Amino acid sequence: MAPSPGQVQSVSFSNQHTFSKTAVPEITLLAGLGVAGDAHMGITVKHRSRVARDPAQPNLRQVHLIHAELLDELRQKGFAVRPGELGENVTVRGIDLLGLPTGAVLNVGAEAVIQITGLRNPCAQINAFQAGLLNAVLDRDQQSQVVRKAGVMAIVLTGGLVSVGDPVHVTLPPEPHRPLEPV
């Protein structure tokens, strides 16, 4: 029996380099580019610190996804965080995004297909949004290794419209699976 799909809880974008993005009813994903109209859309990297290092590097951060369960966890810890406010484009419920391997493919809605490239590495800007939030999105595993919980990054393989309520189906890459690393 196939696992039940996840579901898009919210979609967001910003045409400027702001920390938070505005929640909207739908976004359009463009193959090889990212979210139409978003400041991070493009073939090459758009994140300011990465552009400063090498503006020609490929954009492995075209779409930022966060699991809605993280927002639930943050609310339980006293933070007021709504979808899009941590900079994500797509908030998904019912999929362990952090447990996916590099190269996992997500079919989102009727047409869109994205491929997971790695973990979002949260920076100190998150504390400017809400004090103490950086520590809340970082953890340690049993080997004392840092666990980054602030979502995953992806590239768009096939474009399409993504709306609140759309199903999300996961296809794992062939084994051996490579764990996610920050991109």
pLDDT digits (tens, 9 = 90+) for 32-41: 999 999 999 9
**What is the model's pLDDT at position 55?**
84
Q: Is 58 exposed, middle or buried (0-12, 13-18, 19+ CB in 10 A)?
A: middle
Q: Which CATH architecture has domain 6-171?
A: Beta Barrel (2.40)
**What is the model's pLDDT at position 54?**
86
Tell me the pTM. Answer: 0.95
**What is the model's pLDDT at position 27?**
98
Judge whether residue 15 has pLDDT over 80. Answer: yes
Q: What are the domain boundaries of the chain? A: 6-171
**What is the model's pLDDT at position 51?**
78
- Decide which of 53 and 115 is more confident: 115
Q: Which residue has the tokens 């992806």?
A: 154
pLDDT digits (tens, 9 = 90+) for 123-178: 888 999 999 999 999 999 899 999 999 999 999 999 999 999 999 999 999 999 99
Residues across the chain: 183
pLDDT digits (tens, 9 = 90+) for 81-107: 999 999 999 999 999 999 999 999 999
CA distances in angstroms from 110 to 26, 127, 168, listed in the order given: 13, 37, 9
- Indicate the residue type of 136: A
> Are residues 170 and 6 in contact, defined by beta-carbon separation less than 8 angstroms?
yes
Q: Tell me the C-alpha distance between 90 and 8, whole Å.
A: 7
Q: Tell me the C-alpha distance between 125 and 121, whole Å.
A: 11
**What is the model's pLDDT at position 1?**
41
